[in-house]
């Protein structure tokens, strides 16, 4: 039986652990650092996800057969390179391949060079040059800080004042570190997430999902890490999906091989269906969060086989997914994504009749406490979105906690159709 180490400690990693626990080959799962929910399905290990030396030492000591990386931060510090240098099997991209997410400019250059459809752009390091360019163009202006910023590096400035303030932050005040800014055209249309397992040039698609980035109902309020997601998107046709697969995901996988940094993990296309065709908003070099929590419950294939094949740079059988749809709602701490308090008890977890992935929880004296901005995600599977929605909100009602809030309108775009 195989021993697996999952790196990370959020809802995405809980969903990965859950999928691995359904593999008949997997005997023992460790998760570093994990969380209180993951601890019910895996042995958690108190190692930070970016502490490469400690992770490596642990994997060697335990005789781990395969390591699976969740967060981009771990990829960006080169955990995959370090494991491979020691001959250890690991699912995730090298540091060099992770640039498809960690550097907006690299991603844009690849798209331009290989003809992948995306908004046209220009990049700047000089504040005056950036400001001159932005103020002469139509608003809103899309300003992207070039570097890993945990989803916080994009500003859609509605007017010159907002644009100037953001450019100052990014280029003068170094709020995000040493600065480079990509300024791009503002696109409109529904967004969706297309995640694929990629092993070199081989690209294995997963079901499409849609995330809800704004904090409040009606897509209002500040941007968050994601407040809910669902699969079964009625506004994307099979033809749209085939075009996105061929002309975006496969093209980038090929490009990365040609650029000598082949992919060996998940490629996540953050795509938009514009009036002018499907275009790339961003790429991530990892599973999306919260998309993974709605996509992986549908996988029928043994996920260990897929992870292992990709880690070894081989091909594998086409992954199979159940035809049902899923819907997941995130319960977040009141105040998130701004200031919030932690340490509130969550009751009723044992009464919930659906999957509950823990995003930010902690166990203390036999109780489960809130320990992050996004705390839990309840996920239901059904024949239709309407049914999944009814189920998931019913199950959420069984939970009690004084300091959580959630959106009541997940999948509204699909249900308005």
Give yes or no for residue 105 binding ligand AMP (CB under 6 A). Answer: no
Q: Which of 33, 78, 147, 151 binds ligand AMP (CB under 6 A)?
A: 151
3-class state of residue 371 by DSSP: coil
Q: Which of 151, 200, 221, 319 binds ligand GLY (CB under 6 A)?
A: 151
410 makes contact, choosing from ligand AMP, ligand GLY, none, with CB < 5 to 8 Å by partner type, with none
Give yes or no for residue 190 binding ligand GLY (CB under 6 A). Answer: no
- Comparing CA positions, the residue from 37, 47, 70 lying closest to residue 360 is 37
Q: Pick the closer one to ligand GLY by CB: 295 or 380.
A: 295
Answer whether 354's CB lies under 8 Å from 398's CB.
no
Binding window for ligand AMP (CB under 6 A); candidates: 37-45, 179-187, 329-337, 346-354 = 179-187
Binding window for ligand GLY (CB under 6 A); candidates: 29-37, 166-174, 281-289, 307-315 = 281-289
Long-range contacts of 136-141 (CB under 8 A, 24+ apart): 137/183, 138/186, 139/163, 139/186, 140/186, 141/183, 141/186
289 makes contact, choosing from ligand AMP, ligand GLY, none, with CB < 5 to 8 Å by partner type, with ligand GLY
Contacts (Cβ under 8 Å, ≥6 apart) of 179 = 125, 145, 146, 170, 171, 172
Give yes or no for residue 291 binding ligand GLY (CB under 6 A). Answer: yes
Give yes or no for residue 122 binding ligand AMP (CB under 6 A). Answer: no
Q: How near is the Cβ of 270 to ligand AMP at its closest, in Å?
A: 5
Q: Pick the closer one to ligand GLY by CB: 264 or 292.
A: 292
Give yes or no for residue 328 binding ligand AMP (CB under 6 A). Answer: no
Q: Which of 284, 316, 333, 370 binds ligand GLY (CB under 6 A)?
A: 284
Q: Which of 153, 269, 288, 337 binds ligand GLY (CB under 6 A)?
A: 288
Binding window for ligand AMP (CB under 6 A); candidates: 18-26, 36-44, 181-189, 399-407 = 181-189
Q: How near is the Cβ of 187 to ligand AMP at its closest, in Å?
A: 4
**Which residue of this chain has its Cβ atom nearest to ligand GLY in the complex?**
288
Give yes or no for residue 13 binding ligand GLY (CB under 6 A). Answer: no
Query: Is 127 exposed, middle or buried (CB count within 10 Å of its CB: 0-12, 13-18, 19+)?
Result: middle
Binding window for ligand AMP (CB under 6 A); candidates: 148-156, 234-242, 257-265, 319-327 = 148-156
Answer whether 361's CB lies under 8 Å from 37's CB.
yes
Give yes or no for residue 152 binding ligand AMP (CB under 6 A). Answer: no
Answer whether 184's CB lies under 8 Å from 107's CB.
no
187 makes contact, choosing from ligand GLY, ligand AMP, none, with CB < 5 to 8 Å by partner type, with ligand AMP
- Comparing CA positions, the residue from 236, 337, 359 lying closest to residue 292 is 359
Q: Which of 45, 54, 77, 187 binds ligand AMP (CB under 6 A)?
A: 187
Q: Which contiguous run of DSSP H or E holds residue 58?
A: helix 52-62
Helices (H), 207-359: 238-244, 251-258, 291-295, 303-311
- Comparing CA positions, the residue from 192, 228, 178 lying closest to residue 406 is 228
3-class state of residue 67 by DSSP: strand
Produce one character per residue of 72-81: b if its CB has 16 or more CB atoms within 10 Å, e if not.
bbbbbbbbbb
* Interacting positions 386-415 with ligand AMP (CB under 6 A): none
The C-alpha atoms of residue 400 and residue 212 are separated, in whole angstroms, by: 23
3-class state of residue 186 by DSSP: coil
Answer whether 267's CB lies under 8 Å from 253's CB.
yes
The C-alpha atoms of residue 227 and residue 273 are separated, in whole angstroms, by: 21
Kindly report the CA angle at 305 between 302 and 309, in degrees rounded to 5?
A: 155
Give yes or no for residue 208 binding ligand AMP (CB under 6 A). Answer: no
Q: How near is the Cβ of 225 to ligand GLY at its closest, in Å?
A: 7
- Angle, to 10 degrees, between the axis of helix 11-21 and the axis of helix 303-311? 110
Q: Which of 22, 84, 213, 342 binds ligand AMP (CB under 6 A)?
A: 213
Total number of residues binding ligand GLY (CB under 6 A)? 7
Give yes or no for residue 70 binding ligand GLY (CB under 6 A). Answer: no
Q: Which contiguous run of DSSP H or E holds residue 382?
A: strand 374-382
Q: Which of 57, 132, 186, 364 binds ligand AMP (CB under 6 A)?
A: 186
Binding window for ligand GLY (CB under 6 A); candidates: 43-51, 152-160, 287-295, 316-324 = 287-295
Tokens 């993990």 correspond to: 265
The contact set with ligand GLY (CB under 6 A) reads 151, 211, 226, 284, 288-289, 291
Q: Give the binding site for ligand AMP (CB under 6 A).
A: 119, 142, 144, 151, 154, 156, 184-187, 191, 213, 270, 281-282
């Amino acid at each position: 039986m195989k021993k697996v180490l999952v790196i990370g400690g959020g809802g995405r990693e809980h969903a990965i652990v859950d999928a691995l626990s359904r593999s008949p080959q997997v005997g023992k799962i460790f998760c570093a650092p994990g969380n209180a929910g993951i601890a019910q399905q895996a042995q958690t290990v108190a190692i930070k996800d970016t502490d490469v030396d400690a992770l490596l030492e642990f994997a060697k000591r335990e005789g781990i057969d395969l390591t699976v990386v969740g967060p981009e931060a771990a990829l960006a510090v080169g955990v995959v390179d370090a494991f491979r240098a020691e001959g250890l099997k690991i699912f995730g991209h090298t540091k060099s391949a992770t640039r498809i997410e960690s550097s907006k400019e690299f991603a844009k250059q690849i798209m331009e060079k290989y003809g992948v459809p995306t908004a046209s752009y220009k990049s700047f390091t000089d504040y005056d040059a950036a400001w001159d360019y932005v103020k002469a163009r139509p608003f809103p202006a899309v300003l992207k800080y070039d570097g890993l910023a945990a989803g916080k590096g994009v500003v859609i400035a509605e007017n010159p004042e907002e644009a100037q303030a953001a450019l100052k932050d990014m280029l003068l005040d170094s709020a995000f570190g040493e600065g480079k800014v990509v300024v791009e055209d503002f696109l409109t249309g529904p967004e969706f997430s297309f995640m694929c397992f990629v092993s070199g040039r081989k690209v294995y698609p997963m079901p499409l999902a849609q995330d809800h980035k704004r904090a409040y109902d009606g897509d209002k309020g500040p941007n968050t890490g994601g407040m809910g997601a669902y699969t079964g998107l009625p506004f994307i046709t099979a033809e749209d999906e085939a075009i996105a697969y061929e002309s975006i995901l496969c093209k980038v996988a090929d490009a990365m091989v040609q650029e000598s940094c082949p992919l060996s993990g998940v490629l996540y296309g953050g795509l938009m269906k514009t009036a002018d065709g499907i275009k790339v908003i961003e790429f991530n070099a990892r599973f999306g969060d919260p998309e993974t929590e709605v996509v992986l419950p549908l996988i029928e294939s043994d996920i260990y086989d897929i992870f292992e094949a990709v880690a070894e740079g081989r091909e594998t059988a086409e992954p199979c997914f159940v035809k049902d749809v899923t819907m997941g709602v995130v319960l977040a701490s009141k105040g998130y994504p701004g200031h919030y308090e932690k340490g509130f008890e969550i009751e009723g977890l044992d009464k919930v009749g659906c999957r509950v992935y823990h995003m930010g929880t902690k166990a203390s004296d036999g109780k489960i406490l809130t320990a992050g901005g996004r705390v839990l995600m309840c996920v239901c599977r059904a024949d239709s979105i309407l049914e999944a929605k009814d189920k998931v909100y019913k199950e959420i009602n069984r939970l009690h906690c004084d300091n959580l809030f959630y959106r009541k309108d997940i999948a509204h775009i699909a249900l308005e159709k």
